[in-house]
Amino acid sequence: MARSVISKLDCAVIGGGPGGLVSALYLARFRRKVVLINDGKPRAAWIPKSHNILGQERGISGDLLLKRLRRQITALHVPVIKGQARIDPVTTGFSVSVNRIPSFIARTVILATGIEDNQPAIENLVELREKGLLRYCSICDAYEFRDQEVAVIAADDTGIQKALFIRHWTERTRLIIPEDFLISTERSNQLKKARIRITRCNHFRLQASKAPHGLWIHPEHGPSRFCRVAYVELGSRVRDSAFAHLKGLHRSTEGYLVTSIEQRLSIPGLFAVGDCVNLLGQISVAAGQAAVAATEIHNDLLDWG
Ligand SMILES: Cc1cc2nc3c(=O)[nH]c(=O)nc-3n(C[C@H](O)[C@H](O)[C@H](O)COP(=O)(O)OP(=O)(O)OC[C@H]3O[C@@H](n4cnc5c(N)ncnc54)[C@H](O)[C@@H]3O)c2cc1C
């Protein structure tokens, strides 16, 4: 069904994860006309229980945190629209389409579209993620597995660096890496010094285990290995369906959006927050950037002549 075009929305927020929700919260409390558009599942929804969120001493699941944030903005009457957004610059700001239907004209836009993790080619991926046996953020939860058996599934040097990073929490770290990946002499020496064990394999199966609680790794050749959890360190890509087509948008070689310290992008009126701009993918970072971007927008739109 065609949506009527609303002119002069102060801001369209694209993305319903922590970055987008906190942006909308601030803008609504600045009495700005704002909508939030979200498509799909925020990365934050995959968090089984986070122990590094401000004031949550017993931890909180990603789902519950998102639910609470959604309640906070709904109470402020922010419309939450389900669908895939795409933006195009126009003279008065941006035309925002939802599911290809031109829906809003917004004076400013905050992109909070997040990233998508590259996944190992295994059949039971969703089951293992839901059971918390596959992990994606060592800064967030490696502390919970300190001194335990931890595997790191890597494909390249970035993954090896992650294994060295994780080794700080546990001496029992194992690197799973393709047979033909050439490890540099420098890295090889670092891995030896850190006493990280290496399993070379191109294909493996992963199997949940109740007792002992954890995960069995079955390589196509060689012995099976047990670990409490495995970190997936296969890289990620920025979710860019809203803006991939825009000309003049500065992005890093990895595809991240390049912002100023006020979260401004290279196109005036456009801002970005959260995982899509930042290698330190953390909720507190996304929330802080959202507060900065929303306040910048509010100040930009103040019109006292
Ligand atoms: C398993 C796991 C555990 C983690 N644990 C922690 C933790 O303990 N502590 C911590 O601080 N961080 C943790 N993180 C990281 C945290 O989840 C991210 O830093 C956070 O979700 C980033 O928020 P965001 O709003 O930038 O992106 P997201 O939460 O990914 O939300 C982005 C949203 O934008 C939507 N979107 C994208 N493109 C469009 C479009 N064109 N139109 C409409 N919507 C669109 C996406 O579908 C998605 O819903 C964890 C991550 C994972 C995967």
pLDDT at residue 6 is higher than 80: no
Let me know whether 21 and 105 are in one domain.
yes
Q: Is residue 1 part of a domain?
A: no
What's the pLDDT score for residue 1? 46
Among 174, 207, 233, which residue terminates a domain?
Answer: 233
User: Mean pLDDT throughout 41-51?
Assistant: 94
Q: Candidates 37, 47, 97, 145: which one to mutate for ligand 1, based on the most atoms within 8 Å of Cβ?
A: 47
Six token digits for residue 105 = 């004209």
Let me know whether 190 and 249 are in one domain.
no
Let me know whether 91 and 23 are in one domain.
yes
pLDDT at residue 215 is higher than 70: yes
Let me know whether 57 and 105 are in one domain.
yes
Let me know whether 214 and 75 are in one domain.
no
Among 215, 233, 251, which residue terminates a domain?
Answer: 233
pLDDT at residue 7 is higher than 80: no
Q: How confident is the model at residue 304 (pLDDT cuts 50, 70, 90)?
A: confident
Q: Is residue 12 part of a domain?
A: yes
Residue 138 CA to residue 295 CA, distance in Å, equals: 31
Q: Does ligand 1 come within 6 angstroms of the Cβ of 113? A: yes
Q: Does ligand 1 come within 6 angstroms of the Cβ of 66? A: no
Q: Is residue 112 part of a domain?
A: yes
pLDDT at residue 2 is higher than 70: no
Distance 150 CA to ligand 1 centre (A): 24
**Is residue 42 a contact partner of residue 18, using CB atoms and an 8 Å limit?**
yes
What one-letter code names the amino acid at 249? L
Let me know whether 287 and 192 are in one domain.
no
Q: Does ligand 1 come within 6 angstroms of the Cβ of 112? A: yes
Distance 220 CA to ligand 1 centre (A): 33
Let me know whether 202 and 109 are in one domain.
no
Among 211, 233, 255, which residue terminates a domain?
Answer: 233
HEC sequence for the chain: CCCCCEEEEEEEEECCCHHHHHHHHHHHHCCCCEEEEECCCCHHHHCCCECCCCCCCCCECHHHHHHHHHHHHHHCCCCEEECCEEEEEECCEEEEEECCEEEEEEEEEEECCCEEECCCCCCCHHHHHHCCCEECCHHHHHHHHCCCCEEEEECCHHHHHHHHHHCCCCCCEEEEECCCCCCCHHHHHHHHHCCCEEEECCCEEEEEECCCCEEEEEECCCCCEEECEEEEECCEEECCCCCCCCCCCCECCCCCECCCCCCECCCCCEEECHHHCCCCCCHHHHHHHHHHHHHHHHHHHCCCC
Let me know whether 52 and 190 are in one domain.
no
Residue 67 CA to residue 70 CA, distance in Å, equals: 5
Interface ipTM above 0.90: yes
Domain count, the chain: 2
**pLDDT for 268-295, tens place per residue?**
999 999 999 987 899 999 999 999 999 9
Q: What domain range is 23 assigned to?
A: 6-116+236-301
**Nearby residues of 192 by Cβ (< 8 Å), 6 or more positions away:** none
Q: Does ligand 1 come within 6 angstroms of the Cβ of 140? A: yes
pLDDT at residue 70 is higher than 50: yes
Q: Is residue 185 part of a domain?
A: yes
Q: What CATH number corresponds to the domain at position 138? A: 3.50.50.60
Least confident of 1-5, 85-89, 185-189: 1-5
Q: Is residue 273 part of a domain?
A: yes
Q: Does ligand 1 come within 6 angstroms of the Cβ of 286? A: yes
Let me know whether 254 and 151 are in one domain.
no
